[in-house]
Amino acid sequence: MIFPLFSVEKPHMRAFHLSWFQYFTCFVCTFAAPPLLPIIRDNLNLTATDIGNAGVGSVAGAIFARLALGAACDLAGPRLASATVCFLTVPAVFLSSMASSPAAFFIMRFFTGFSLATFVSTQYWMSCMFSPKVVGIANGQSGGWGNLGGGVANLLMPLLYSFILNNTKADTPFTAWRVSFFLPAFLQMFSAFAVMLLGQDLPGGNFLKLQKSGEMHKDNAKKIVYHAVTNYRGWITAIGYGFCFGVELAVTNIIVSYFYDRFNLNLSLAGIVGALFGMVNIFSRSCGGLFSDFMAKKYGMRGRLWGWWTVQTLSGVMCIVMGRLDTLGATIAVMLIFCFLVQASEGLTFGVVPFVSRRSLGLVSGISGAGGNVGAVICQVIFFRGSQFKLEDGITYMGIIIIVTTLSLSSIYFPQWGGMLAGPKPGVTEEDYYLREWDADEQEQGLHKVSMKFAEGCRNERSCKVKSVPVVEESTRPAIDVV
């Protein structure tokens, strides 16, 4: 079995379970507040603008955190990078219980949201641990089970609040919601310790130990940044991810309030319905990863790109339909289809991202991941902040934006594999593409060999309809223009 999902064997599958669980706890902490907003807004006298600003803050903080964490993964490894973020942000979760004003509530949500940067370490870790043939399902499943935390928060927090209110000395609503924040905070702290104590960065060992022993090259930060920011494909994947994951974050922030206000559901029932949106992550994102791997097996990288565009465009269509419905049953049914498609698009995104750059994998993942948070901020500010739009109208307009921005995927082109609208350049190999990230001196020292090993494993990204390009020895390979 290529991907034994329920194994915890070290190092590969243990890393898989540690990474998704850590990201899951960060998601729960970041979205612990939205399902309790009907109570919190009365306690802190929050206006619609205050709530919108806090929603923006919760996803804005992770934009730069994801970029920084991507670079940290390239330099120090995913374990140390992700655990550090968790330890630094968990105090904000505990302090959320002490918020006494709209400004304090905003600050706590802003700093708690930094923890969502652990998505980058999750995807980096999986891309290092698993081969190109299964990287789609590995990234999709770990990211999907992590994103599941949003749905669990919508379900858990109202139930936890009710339990505390009815069964403890915190028997007033304005006290019970504060006590509720302690459980997710402890979960996040526990996950950070587990990652550091039980995980392993790479199949061959841990980053710092391998670098200290000389078995692994300690890379140059400037060159990592250069090769990441000059590769336009990473910026396009950021746009695409901005309007699948970004949409999921924006909807997670408003979905409980949407059903509570629009369909007059009580808080617990609205929380259960809202939880369905995130709970679909149990299988939806991994389905996107599986579909990406399937399309690659049949049609190579071009298949991955066409699959991504198709699924994400359909998610925009269903988003529009959801915003136009005014009956509870139909809205829930369409919401389930919409959330499956938007979350599958996330899995399809990270079926492509690991191939953009090998040397700058962490930072490219960070750029793409940060794009998701930028998309969330855009959606939150334009459609769900204040009273400019009714929630149902904001959802409709967001669907239109999804369809339009997804057209940008047609510009992604790999010279060795092609793109959506054109085939590969004649004579260009995988080695040519990844070798360009290493200069002549670095090649002479053999620092590029890890990238060459990855390039060899990437030949399945060629379309079965394209003749294989013979591999030329490095010493005799002619210079080829690779863009």
What ranges do the domains of the chain cover?
7-200, 233-428, 430-461
Instruction: Give dist(CA 30, CA 108) in Å, integer.
Output: 10
pLDDT above 60: residue 466: no
pLDDT at res. 401 = 97
List all residues 6 or more positions away from 374 whose beta carbon is below 8 Å from its beta carbon.
63, 238, 242, 246
- pLDDT tops 60 at residue 419: yes
Average pLDDT value for the chain: 91
Rounded CA-CA distance 352/136 in Å is 8
* Confidence (pLDDT) at 271: 86
The answer to whether 222 and 350 have CB atoms below 8 angstroms apart is no
Q: How far apart are CA 285 and CA 372, in angstroms?
A: 15
pLDDT tens readout for residues 325-383: 999 999 999 999 999 999 999 999 999 999 999 999 999 999 999 999 999 999 999 99
> What secondary structure letter does DSSP report for 419?
E
pLDDT of residue 409: 98
Of 15-19, 177-181, 276-280, 461-465, least confident by mean pLDDT is 461-465
Q: Of all residues in the chain, what percent are helix, strand and coil, respectively (each to 5)?
A: 75, 0, 25
pLDDT band at 430 (very low <50, low <70, confident <90, very high): very high
Coil vs helix vs strand at 414:
strand
pLDDT of residue 324: 95
| Whether 112 contacts 92, CB under 8 Å | yes
200 sits in the region (left: phi over 0; alpha: psi -120 to 50; else beta) called: beta
Q: Which of 15-29, 127-141, 179-193, 430-444 has the lowest mean pLDDT?
A: 127-141
Distance CA 213, CA 428 (A): 36
In DSSP terms, 418 is beta-bridged to 414
Radius of gyration of the chain from its Cα atoms, rounded to whole angstroms: 22
- At 478, the pLDDT band (50, 70, 90 cuts) reads very low
C-beta of residue 435 within 8 angstroms of C-beta of residue 418: no
Residue with tokens 């793409």: 368
Strand partners, 419: 413
What is the pLDDT confidence band of residue 483, given thresholds at 50, 70 and 90?
low
Angle between helical axes of 12-30 and 78-95 (0-180°, round to 10): 20
Q: What is the pLDDT of residue 459?
A: 85
DSSP states along 25-65: HHHHHHTSSGGGHHHHHHHHT--HHHHHHHHHHHHHHHHHH
- Phi first, then psi, for residue 419 (nearest 5°) are -145, -165
- Contact predicate 136/350, CB 8 Å: yes
- Residues 206-248 pLDDT 10s: 988 888 888 888 888 999 999 999 999 999 999 999 999 999 9
> Looking at residues 386-413, what average pLDDT do you find?
94
Do the domains at 7-200 and 233-428 have one common CATH topology? yes
**CATH architecture assigned to 7-200:** Up-down Bundle (1.20)
Residue 474 has pLDDT above 70, yes or no: no
The string of pLDDT tens digits covering residues 325-340 is 999 999 999 999 999 9
Q: What is the pLDDT of residue 476?
A: 44
pTM check: above 0.75: yes
The stretch 48-72 carries a mean pLDDT of 90
| 71: pLDDT strictly greater than 80 | yes
Is pLDDT of 475 > 50? no
pLDDT score at 481: 54
Rounded Cα gap, residues 317 and 403, in angstroms: 7
Over range 254-273, report the average pLDDT.
88
d(CA 168, CA 184): 18
Q: Evaluate if residue 303 carries a pLDDT over 50.
A: yes
Architecture category of domain 233-428 in CATH: Up-down Bundle (1.20)
> What would the pLDDT profile of 60-69 be if each residue is shown by its tens digit?
888 999 999 9
Residue 59 · residue 377 · CB < 8 Å? yes
pLDDT at 131: 87
User: In the prediction, which pLDDT does 479 show?
Assistant: 44
| 3 state SS for 265-307 | CCHHHHHHHHHHHHHHHHCHHHHHHHHHHHHHHHHHHHHHHHH
Looking at residue 15, what is its pLDDT?
95
Work out the average pLDDT over 403-428: 96
Structural contact between residues 464 and 300, judged by C-beta atoms closer than 8 angstroms: yes
Tokens 């940044």 belong to residue: 225
